[in-house]
């Protein structure tokens, strides 16, 4: 459950009516201080959630959401250390300087079953993160101050937080994770800088899945990028098989990714504007494009029936395929061959 705007008393009513047999509760909350009342939680669990085994709780405090009442928060947090919590092996910790404000913090569960961890602040104690497989980076720059390690992390998500081009991602990330183990990177609502990512991919040798919203090559000529020694090395050895992009009308970005990742098997595009479709189709499905030789499926999201008609027309007129399948449903087009 994500309960950032959810009224505390509504949650209490929900728990009393529906949670009697609940065994696993993952809860993300913010703003309403009552969610940090340990005594209320204890009474609610004993009375209405008696079968609860797993309590995975996260609470974010933002200084700009209300007046600074940090002392009240700190006093409440101390109450999560009595025998009720310790006896159930439910432990908690705090990330200070969470996000981009020195006073923001994240109060979170420390447990052997947490698979996703939000990283955006400073933790002053050594914790066991062996169970974490997915790190959600809310502030990339906090990596430099983070003294814990995630030995089994395989996925990174950057939301509004991909760092500036001069930030050495490959060097800094290696302080908290094993880059060789990463298999997936997702960047949402934040631009990535192409050559910065290429350098990162040069050490993340097992990445299989990528998802980006916005990609920038700056003022660099695409031909110059493809001639770069690091680009050529990465192109030869990376194993990326699944790529998702938000299309901004730039065919050269798509061409660069296909040149960088010639082992792609599935490609997904979001928000393709109809006038850009024909050249895009010809490039992706071209029989003379050596960089698409492993590609076997393509998806276009947030599109219309008109998109399907254009796709079929270009394939037929250019004789791109003899044997293929197209399906359109729920504003999505999927092509297999």
Find the helix or strand (DSSP H, E) in which 90 lies. Answer: none
The span from the CA of 50 to the CA of 58, in Å, is: 21
For residue 307, what pLDDT is reported? 85
For residue 66, what pLDDT is reported? 53
Domain limits, the chain: 1-110
CB neighbours of 167 closer than 8 A, spacing ≥ 6? 140, 141, 196
Does this model's pTM top 0.85? My answer is: no
Does the pLDDT at position 258 exceed 80?
A: yes
Averaged pLDDT for residues 55-72: 73
| Adjacent-strand bridge partners of 24 | 54
pLDDT digits over 21-37, tens only?
Answer: 999 998 888 878 889 99
- State the chain's mean pLDDT as an integer: 88
One DSSP character per residue, 25-48 reads EEEEEES-GGGG-HHHHHHHHHHH
For residue 296, what pLDDT is reported? 96
Least confident of 63-77, 125-139, 167-181, 183-197: 63-77
Q: Which of 188, 155, 159, 194 is nearest to 173 (CA)?
A: 155
């Amino acid at each position: 459950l994500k309960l950032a705007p959810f009224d505390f008393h509504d949650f209490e009513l929900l728990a009393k009516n529906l949670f009697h047999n609940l065994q696993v509760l993952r809860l993300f909350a913010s703003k309403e201080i009552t969610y940090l009342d340990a005594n209320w939680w204890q009474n609610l669990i004993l009375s209405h959630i008696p079968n609860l085994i797993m309590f995975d709780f996260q609470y974010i405090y933002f200084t700009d959401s209300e007046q600074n009442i940090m002392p009240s928060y700190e006093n409440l947090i101390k109450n999560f250390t009595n025998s009720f919590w310790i006896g159930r092996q439910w432990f908690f910790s705090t990330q200070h300087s969470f996000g981009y404000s020195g006073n923001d913090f994240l109060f979170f569960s420390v447990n052997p079953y947490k698979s996703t961890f939000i990283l955006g602040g400073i933790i002053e104690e050594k914790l066991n993160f062996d169970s974490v497989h997915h790190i959600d980076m809310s502030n990339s720059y906090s990596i430099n101050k983070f003294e814990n390690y995630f030995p089994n992390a395989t996925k990174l998500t950057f939301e509004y937080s991909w760092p500036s081009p001069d930030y050495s991602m490959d060097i800094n990330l290696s302080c908290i994770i094993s880059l060789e183990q990463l298999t997936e990177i997702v960047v949402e609502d934040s631009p990535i800088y192409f050559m910065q990512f290429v350098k990162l991919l040069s050490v993340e040798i097992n990445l299989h899945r990528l998802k980006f919203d916005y990609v920038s090559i700056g003022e660099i000529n695409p031909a110059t990028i493809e001639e770069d020694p690091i680009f050529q090395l990465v192109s030869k050895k990376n194993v990326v098989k699944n790529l998702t992009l938000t299309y901004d009308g730039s065919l050269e970005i798509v061409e660069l990714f296909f040149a960088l990742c010639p082992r792609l098997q599935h490609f997904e595009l979001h928000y393709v504007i109809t006038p850009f479709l024909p050249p895009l189709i010809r490039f992706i499905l071209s029989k003379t494009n050596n960089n698409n030789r492993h590609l076997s499926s393509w998806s276009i999201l947030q599109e219309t029936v008109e998109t399907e008609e254009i796709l079929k027309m270009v394939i037929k007129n250019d004789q791109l395929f003899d044997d293929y399948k197209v399906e359109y449903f729920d504003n999505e087009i999927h092509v297999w061959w």
